[in-house]
Amino acid sequence: MEVKEESGKTVERGNSGDSSGAGRADLHLHTTHSDGTLTPEELVRKAHEAGLTTIAITDHDNVAALDEAVEIGNAIGVEVLSGLELSVTLGEKDIHLLAYLFDHKNLQLLEYLTFFRRERLKRAERIVEKLNKINVPLELDAVLGQAGVGSVGRPHIANAMVELGVIGSYHEAFSKYIGVGGPAYEKKYQVSPQEAIQMVSKAGGLTFLAHPGKYTTDAEILELINAGLDGIEVVHPSHDEQRRKFYRNVVEQYFLLESGGSDYHGGKKNDSYAFGTFWVPLTVVDAMRKRLFS
Ligand code: AMP
Ligand code: FE
Ligand code: FE
Ligand code: ZN
């Protein structure tokens, strides 16, 4: 059931849910605190203009956008939920999880995130060293310049390589150098799904499998469900209607929750769809709260 990412192509607009004005939630968004290009304030304002009533910012290993986003959201009428995107290891694969509705001041969670960001930095150093060894003259400072205050990741390395002119495109960086199996590929720090799910749960939140249509097999989904997953991201630009139906069935069959959003990064990474067109109805958020609080 592996499906290639549809490179941001708008597959379907919206969601099968309520479009009567009862509220729209985009629960997968990135800011400058990870690999997005908009600041929290810019993103919240953009969400408001696009008619979204609720958002979750899901920066990789970072919750630093939340306080600012909540403040702007309160001022202009956008509800901002706590969110995160985490990477876990399953076999040889790096799988992305989304966390919601946790206490973003939970000390243990914050310690984990600081640790993950340090490990990201060390990995970026190792990738740069590998690139230098194969005569790509990239400097770590150029990568850090791309990352700014955000958690450093391969997207920043790809952008720095484009800027340096050693490759023609963002995607070429992955296909030629830093993608899985590439000559400068480096693994991330290895965290098990169980460990990540427990960490989120201890902070009072729920954990979802992100964009399974990109590269997660049925067997892996089952393994993650057994590890304690709370739900699956059903609406995502890489899922066509058939995929959505499939994941919604899995959600129902295993008494899970669903989530959804655009995985918007600010236009740099094939976010060519119209912002505001990947959303879930507020009943989805209500169901999450119900699971946590009743
Ligand atoms: P990192 O968290 O540093 O491993 O970076 C992962 C991010 O890089 C993902 O969220 C994707 O946005 C991007 N990415 C991973 N693989 C590819 C690829 N083959 N082509 C383009 N972008 C990719
Ligand atoms: Fe990302
Ligand atoms: Fe992801
Ligand atoms: Zn994402």
42-68 pLDDT, tens per residue? 999 999 999 999 999 999 999 999 999
Alpha-carbon span 176 to 277, nearest angstrom: 32
Beta carbons within 8 Å of 252's beta carbon, 6+ residues apart: none
Q: What is the pTM of this model?
A: 0.92
User: Which of 4, 34, 87, 174 is the pocket-test mutation for ligand 1 (most atoms within 8 Å of CB)?
Assistant: 174
- pLDDT, tens only, 158-173: 999 999 999 999 999 9
- pLDDT, tens only, 97-108: 999 999 999 999
Measured CA distances, 76 to 6, 19, 48, 73 (Å): 33, 21, 8, 5
Q: Which ligand is nearest to the CA of 173?
A: 1
> Is the pLDDT assigned to residue 10 strictly greater than 60?
no
Backbone angles phi, psi at 86, to 5 degrees: -120, 155
> Is the pLDDT assigned to residue 22 strictly greater than 90?
no
> How many Å lie between the centroid of ligand 1 and the Cα of residue 52?
26
pLDDT of res. 267: 76
Average pLDDT on 110-114 reads: 98
Alpha-carbon span 83 to 208, nearest angstrom: 11
pLDDT of res. 268: 63
CA-closest residue to ligand 1 atom 3 = 153
User: Between β-strands 83-90 and 79-81, what pairing exists: parallel, antiparallel or unpaired?
Assistant: unpaired
Q: What is the mean pLDDT of the chain?
A: 92
> Is the pLDDT assigned to residue 123 strictly greater than 70?
yes
> How many Å lie between the centroid of ligand 1 and the Cα of residue 100?
21
The response to whether residue 281 sits with its C-beta less than 6 Å from ligand 1 reads no
User: Between β-strands 206-209 and 93-100, what pairing exists: parallel, antiparallel or unpaired?
Assistant: antiparallel
